[in-house]
């Protein structure tokens, strides 16, 4: 019996021999000087959509918040536990990030659960159900559209939820004030696990565009 799963120990040995060995100075600087990431990424906890891998970032380059379906709750300082709000507050107020990216992805289990009106809670606490109620109005509207296929409904809500999170981000006074001052920029993006494509939200129209380097202009639906 090992202290950790053997796969993790093997991975750690590889990390020490390769990445850490190549970036020892970087890690030591981060330890001594602290972190100064310019970008906060709010992503799903899905194991297939890790932002550090998708964006090929270096240690200390991005600050990441991960939760079910990459949701941001509205600003509600009610004394309850708010992990996402606490991490957001730290990133904006203490780290003073310059960008916030809400990163959604295809085939999201949380979004699938929100669309499945007949699904039963996984436990008496129904934590997922309560969390996904943040997008309940949109889920009900999308689920009722019989002209869309299940895959289309899933993709639609995945992207709508990103817009929901961006709207909720602006309900936080610190985010709203800094954005209006031009010191903070909000972005939305959607990652397709199957193809590896990244779709970026146009901040003016809300359309998701694929920034293919071979295309001169970003066109909706391309």
Structural domain 35-209, CATH architecture: 3-Layer(aba) Sandwich (3.40)
C-alpha separations of 53 from 58, 109, 134, 188, 193 in Å: 10, 20, 28, 17, 12
**What tens digit of pLDDT does each residue of 200-221 get?**
999 999 999 998 655 545 444 4
Q: Are 68 and 131 in contact (CB under 8 A)?
A: yes
Tokens 């904006």 found at: 92
Q: Are 100 and 184 in contact (CB under 8 A)?
A: yes
pLDDT > 80? residue 12: yes
Please indicate, yes or no, whether the overall pTM of this predicted structure exceeds 0.85.
Answer: yes
Domain ranges of the chain: 1-34, 35-209
What is the average pLDDT across 39-53?
98
pLDDT band at 81 (very low <50, low <70, confident <90, very high): confident
Q: What is the pLDDT of residue 119?
A: 84
What is the average pLDDT across 167-176?
98
Q: Distance between CA 188 and CA 139 in Å, rounded? A: 19
Burial 70-92 (b: 16+ CB within 10 A, else e): bbbbebeeeeeeeebbebbeebb
Structure tokens at 120: 């039963």
Q: What is the pLDDT of residue 222?
A: 41
- DSSP string covering 128-188: HHHHHGGGHHHHHHHHT-TTS-HHHHHHHHHHHHHHHHHHHHTTSHHHHHHHHTTS-EEEE
Q: Distance between CA 7 and CA 167 in Å, rounded? A: 40
């Amino acid at each position: 019996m090992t202290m950790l799963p053997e796969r993790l120990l093997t991975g750690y040995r590889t990390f020490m021999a390769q990445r850490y060995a190549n970036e020892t100075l970087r890690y030591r600087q981060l330890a001594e000087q602290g972190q100064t990431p310019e970008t906060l990424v709010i992503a799903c906890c899905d194991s297939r959509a890790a932002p550090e891998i998708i964006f090929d970032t270096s240690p200390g380059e991005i600050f990441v918040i991960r939760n079910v379906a990459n949701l941001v709750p509205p600003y509600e300082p009610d004394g309850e536990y708010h992990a996402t709000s606490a991490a957001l507050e730290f990133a904006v107020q203490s780290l003073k990030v310059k960008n916030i990216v809400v990163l959604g992805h295809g085939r999201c289990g949380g979004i699938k659960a929100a669309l499945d009106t007949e699904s039963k809670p996984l436990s008496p606490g129904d934590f997922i159900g309560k969390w996904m109620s943040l997008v309940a109005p949109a889920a009900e509207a999308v689920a009722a559209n019989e002209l869309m296929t299940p895959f289309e409904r899933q993709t639609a809500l995945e992207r709508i939820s990103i817009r929901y999170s961006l709207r909720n981000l602006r309900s936080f006074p610190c985010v709203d004030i800094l954005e209006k001052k031009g010191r903070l920029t909000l972005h939305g993006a959607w990652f397709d696990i199957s193809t590896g494509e990244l779709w970026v939200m146009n901040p003016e129209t809300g359309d998701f565009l694929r920034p293919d380097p071979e295309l001169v202009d970003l066109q909706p639906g391309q």
